[in-house]
Amino acid sequence: MAKATITFEDINITVTVPAGTRVIEVSEKVGSAITYGCREGDCGTCLMKITDGWNNLSEPSVLEDKILRENMAGKHNRLACQAQLLTGHISVKPA
Amino acid sequence: MNRIVLESPDGVPVAVPLSERVHWVGAFDPHLRTFDIILKTANGTSYNAYVVRGSEGVAVIDTVKEGFADVFFARLESVADYAEIKVIVLNHLEPDHTGALPELMRRAPGAQLYISQKAQSMLKGLLKQENLHFTPVVTGDTVSLGDRSLQFLHTPYLHWPDTQCTYLPEEAMLFSGDVFGCHFCDDRLFNDRAGDFRFSFEYYYAHIMRPFKEYVLRALELIEPLPLKLIAPTHGPILRDRPDRYIQRYRQLSSPALHSEISPQQKTLLIFYISSYGNTRRMAEAIYQGALQVDDVRVSLYDLEGGEVAPFVDLIEEADGLILGTPTINGDAVKPIWDLLSSLTVVNLKNKLGGVFGSYGWTGEGVRLVEDRLRGLKLRVPIPGLRVKLIPTDDEILECKAFGLELAQELMGLREAKMINFADLA
């Protein structure tokens, strides 16, 4: 099975996950400070900063893109409830 | 002293001048006692709205709560025709300021609505109308009314994401929305005439603005350089006598109360516990001993039974880490813990370190429930909570010390990087 690794910089924990796992499925279990509101890409609460490997994430959906724009998010910011880990290594921290 | 005229001789509400070109067109709600569930007021509140007249049109800044629309429209009509209204500004979209908006837009169809960028989705949620026409604005955007102009200041989270202030440079007036406001109803209207509203001003800040101190300080960077003769908030007295004092007070209230004795490289870790038979207390003491082993961590241990919530909230606001100890009774953490946790919404906890422990008799759900709550309050909880069945053994006391040590190391960034496999996560 294809794998990806994600490092949560705020707690210095790296997790190896099956490709396609969403960040939300991992971050709460390991105790990262990324926090969630609606959990379905509508509220923007779980905005996170991708510090490395942003090309290794799934592309933002139309919905996520809209919420990112409404929140005036930077180029390397994503919603943790939407972004899927596809390949390679990704580093994130709460926005 | 001249009385402020609020009504015409035949009892119709009229606008109150702040200057030749600026009028107050708000409403009083003297019998309100609870605002938004969370705030008390001993003498009601006011919903302040304003009209600015320029050589090329009129602007209405904010409206009032829906039930007070008639008074607002009567006051507005005393100084402007609807056809003259070119601009409507909403500094904040909460219903107590937007209640009269749909009717105002219907009566003044030639007006353009200006709101902050972040207000767009809220406006749709509030008005439930498609095809709304509005202009989103950011800091630096201006609207001309001819010989008067409005400048927008983006001041988010004071106290909603959408909030902004509007500055009228030709009169040195700031329409500040809820910032610098308070729930205080006084028909003498101005701060140099109204009764003593200092308590209300402080209370309003403590409950509405305090969670957003960081944003208050950012907003003050925009507001402080402005020449100001008057601040016109949406609640409470209009601040025309030494308005700078209120700005200074906001800066004071948003800065740490007492300078902490710790040096910049040190961090503070607070341990709060409550214990019925002394078991959770023994755990707390061991965790405290463990945390003490790490240099530059200033650890404090508090029994919740020995204090009141408010000063503990003050402590937590300025701490770097927070560890809570609770027994489990009837499948839940105990009430003093929840009382503390439910009082923390007035402070910013984002990214503080959190940890939970406790002794239990049957099933021990309390620790997990409090961990979830800490995450909900935006703390990071990187180390799973520690639970001990009934009386801790010597080995379990050692585990508690290790738990305290690990949390203190985590706080100082000394914990080694950890690799985990997804399948091993609980």
Q: Quick: pLDDT tens for A18-49.
A: 999 999 999 988 888 888 888 999 888 899 99
Q: Which of B39, B155, B35, B32 is nearest to B92 (CA)?
A: B155
The alpha carbon of residue A70 is apart from the nearest alpha carbon of chain B, in Å, by: 7
Q: Say which of B118, B351, B376 has its CB closest to residue A94.
A: B351
Does any CB of chain B come closer than 8 Å to the CB of residue A38? no
Fold of the B16-253 domain: Metallo-beta-lactamase; Chain A (3.60.15)
Residues of chain B with pLDDT under 50: none
The predicted pLDDT at position B331 comes to 92
Nearest-CB residue to B382 (from A13, A14, A18): A13
Mean pLDDT of A50-78: 91
pLDDT at B1: 57
| Chain A residue at shortest CA distance from B352 | A33
User: In this predicted structure, what is the pLDDT of residue A60?
Assistant: 93
What pLDDT score does B17 carry?
Answer: 97
Q: In which residue ranges of chain B is CATH 3.40.50.360 found?
A: 267-411
CATH class of A3-94: alpha beta
Taking CB atoms and an 8 Å cutoff, what residues of chain B touch A30? 382, 420, 425
The helix/strand/coil state of A64 is helix
The domain spans of chain A are 3-94
Q: Do A33 and B425 touch (CB under 8 A)?
A: no
- State the smallest CA–CA distance between residue B410 and chain A in angstroms: 8
Q: Do B380 and A17 touch (CB under 8 A)?
A: no
Q: Across the interface, do B376 and A35 touch by the CB < 8 Å criterion? A: yes
Cα separation, B250 vs B201, whole angstroms: 10
Contact yes or no for A57/A76 (Cβ under 8 A): no
Q: In angstroms, what CA-CA distances link A16 with A36, A50, A78, B419? A: 22, 17, 20, 8
Q: Residue B331: left if φ>0, alpha if ψ -120 to 50, beta else—which one?
A: left
Cβ count near B352 (within 10 Å): 23
Domain with CATH 3.60.15.10 in chain B: 16-253
Task: Please tell me the CATH superfamily of domain B267-411, with its number.
Answer: Flavodoxin domain (3.40.50.360)
Rounded to a whole number, what is the distance in Å from the CA of B224 to chain A's nearest CA?
25
Which of chain B's residues have a Cβ under 8 Å away from the Cβ of A70? 117-118, 120-121
ipTM: 0.84
User: What is the structure's pLDDT at B257?
Assistant: 67
Q: What is the pLDDT of residue B121?
A: 81
Helix (H, G, I), strand (E, B) or coil at A93: strand
